[in-house]
Structure 1
């Protein structure tokens, strides 16, 4: 079986978990002796030579969208970029040439911003079955997050006009896909509610822990002094930092001392505004850090996302280090937590409810550690080997169905 894997970004050019999960799958498939070939975009700022199984192609669009810290393009340039990305004929030609050269049997696609979903009909003309993995909401929202003007959108049929117009061709392109994988039941169901992948075989395959990181030791913290809660993610409103800080202020006024460890990057003006708004909170702003350095310093994770999350890998990472999670009750993260056993939920966007949940749990401090131990036990099932086995079986099933 000759497998082609297409991902807009691929390590070392990577900005998130989707690229890491794609690489983890490729490495696993190759370890089984399968012929696997990767097609990804070539970053113009840091060109890299091809590896034997990795081919990098230049992006044929009006700008490179993945440079962190670059000045935001104008609204008109962004509109042109997204319009072209709905069905990019130049990228489709490159993909077809690569697929023919490698003599592929099946194609596995991941995030495709830059390639465009127009490559799916192009691959279908070559009689190639396609398995797509849903890592985010880019097929429904050009911003990929289904969050606009301080609120979520996209539940059921409600999406803004811009999203519906720019992504309409993508829904039609999904008819060329043989099977679709959701990293959670939530993301798979949401896409089908909007009419995508209705003819494709569907399956949920959860992300896996990185086997190269050591999660064998429980990241215990001696509970001396106040409760210490952690946040890891982008420091912005979509991730719920405003809700977390408002809840922290409520708890401070109630007399519950908490130290907050906030890790991640975000707009400097927002961080400065929050620091001025909450001067009496005990906040540690740690910036971008290795997640493994956070877990020994906190008693639990707070995952307060206002926007939908495809899954919430940070919940899984925290659980692997014996840390319970308190999460907003929506999105894919809900599927990683057993309420009362490995964590707790609060109503999204409601700081009063978040404060209430934390207050109730702190009345029995031993519950934090007990939930963390249960979370760690649950996390042991999310292995890369199990994920690899599920994908391998799916590829075989799709290829067999396609041939017969």
Structure 2
């Protein structure tokens, strides 16, 4: 089968977990004998080609007013204009159309579409090609992709969300099969009228277990860690609140790996963390971080669609989470993931963490097989 995968970014460019999941899927499909081509974006002026682990990748220049994946500050009006263009960008759909005609895929699989825009769906269906879309964030609802603003989750019924989503929702009728990376995100799209003629599926992201040599020496204290963006939506302010409660205790210590934003909020969070005694590690590889902690605390506020870092960390240490979004499903699927309400019991030794048993639902083989079935299921559409 010839499969064209479209995602905003692809290796070596990485912004979040979507790029990891898409790459694992593409390479698994190649290993199963499929011909796979990936279209992604770059800030370069010209197209460039690469071959990564058997996957042909084409990096298209973004045809918008600036490259959004840099630290360069953009004014409010420029950001607004960027998002207005990103509602439907015919320049990007034309660029994709050329590759549709050259590659002639049996199926097109779109993922994160920021930059490409939903305009590419029209080009796919003009040619009668099967269209599968995976919802990996909330881009179809709102341009911030998180449905989180300030310090709270946005209501999908709000005027802002309805206004930004109107056109994308109408074009989602082109989709033949909609895949959610959790049941939560699949249901949220389906209940709100997206892809009304599509079949809906849940396929969890593939996650490779983290293998670390356990440190067997007896420690006098438990180390509770946080890893990821040190931000409000990730719940780092809640992590600091919990750390403050244990500030005078000698049997527990709190550490955090990750970076703050350059905003005033980021500065305030950093000051707060230092004040309550959180040891800030800065950017730290996951393996190094996990070798230093006894448990991970991730009191996420935004409705995270999946929670890759939860699955990764749970293969080595117990993880304590807030049951929001797709993370609530991980509580049911993984024995070493717990509600944050149980953290105190863990610290005082009343909760003995379960042994990790990898769930095949997160394997690359399972992920690939399930997508093959979705691709085939739509062969008549």
Query: TM-score when scaled to structure 1?
Result: 0.87
| 8 A contact 1:320–1:380 mirrored in 2 | no
Summarize deviations over 1:131-154 as a string: whole Å, max 9, x none. 111111111121111111211113
Are 1:262 and 2:256 an aligned pair?
Answer: yes
Are 1:125 and 2:126 an aligned pair?
Answer: yes
Worse-matched range after superposition: 83-92 or 277-286? 277-286
| 8 A contact 1:130–1:179 mirrored in 2 | yes
**1:166 shift after superposition:** 2.1
Q: Distance in 2 between matches of 1:378 and 1:11?
A: 26
| 8 A contact 1:180–1:200 mirrored in 2 | yes
Q: Which of 200, 205, 208 is matched with 1:207 structurally?
A: 205
Query: TM-score when scaled to structure 2?
Result: 0.92
Are 1:53 and 2:56 an aligned pair?
Answer: yes
**1:46 shift after superposition:** 10
What SS class does the counterpart of residue 297 from structure 2 fall into?
strand
| 8 A contact 1:315–1:325 mirrored in 2 | yes
Rate the CA distance shift 1:398–1:218 in 2: closer, same or farther, 3 A.
farther
Residue of structure 1 in register with 2:299 after alignment: 304
Q: Which segments of 5 or more consecutive residues in structure 1 lack a partner in the other structure?
A: 347-353
| 8 A contact 2:260–2:267 mirrored in 1 | no
Are 1:364 and 2:328 an aligned pair?
Answer: no
**1:4 shift after superposition:** 0.8
**1:20 shift after superposition:** 1.4
Are 1:324 and 2:318 an aligned pair?
Answer: yes
| 8 A contact 2:361–2:367 mirrored in 1 | no
Aligned residue runs from structure 1 range 83-98, under 5 A: 83-98=84-99
Q: Which segments of 5 or more consecutive residues in structure 2 lack a partner in the other structure?
A: none
Q: Distance in 2 between matches of 1:293 and 1:325?
A: 16
Summarize deviations over 1:27-53 as a string: whole Å, max 9, x none. 111112211111111222998544482
**1:366 shift after superposition:** 5.9
Residue of structure 1 in register with 2:15 after alignment: 15
Summarize deviations over 1:71-104 as a string: whole Å, max 9, x none. 1x22211111111111111111111121011111
What SS class does the counterpart of residue 335 from structure 1 fall into?
helix
Rate the CA distance shift 1:394–1:339 in 2: closer, same or farther, 3 A.
closer
Q: Which of 350, 359, 370 is matched with 1:390 structurally?
A: 370
Rate the CA distance shift 1:271–1:62 in 2: closer, same or farther, 3 A.
closer
Residue of structure 1 in register with 2:78 after alignment: 77
| 8 A contact 2:360–2:366 mirrored in 1 | no
Q: Distance in 2 between matches of 1:265 and 1:39?
A: 29
CA-based RMSD of the aligned residues comes to 2.3
Residue of structure 2 in register with 1:236 after alignment: 231
Q: Distance in 2 between matches of 1:19 and 1:47?
A: 19
**1:272 shift after superposition:** 4.5
Q: Distance in 2 between matches of 1:223 and 1:115?
A: 52
Q: Distance in 2 between matches of 1:340 and 1:104?
A: 37
Residue of structure 1 in register with 2:105 after alignment: 104
What SS class does the counterpart of residue 114 from structure 2 fall into?
coil
Residue of structure 1 in register with 2:331 after alignment: 337
Worse-matched range after superposition: 242-251 or 180-189? 242-251
**1:60 shift after superposition:** 1.2
| 8 A contact 2:48–2:60 mirrored in 1 | no
Summarize deviations over 1:292-311 as a string: whole Å, max 9, x none. 11112111111111111011
| 8 A contact 1:221–1:299 mirrored in 2 | no
Q: Distance in 2 between matches of 1:267 and 1:256?
A: 31
**1:385 shift after superposition:** 0.9
**1:330 shift after superposition:** 1.1
Summarize deviations over 1:304-363 as a string: whole Å, max 9, x none. 111110111011001122x111111211111112499423224xxxxxxx5xx3223323
Aligned residue runs from structure 1 range 207-226, under 5 A: 207-210=205-208, 215-216=210-211, 219-220=214-215, 222-226=217-221
Q: Distance in 1 between matches of 2:27 and 2:359?
A: 22
How many aligned positions are there?
A: 377
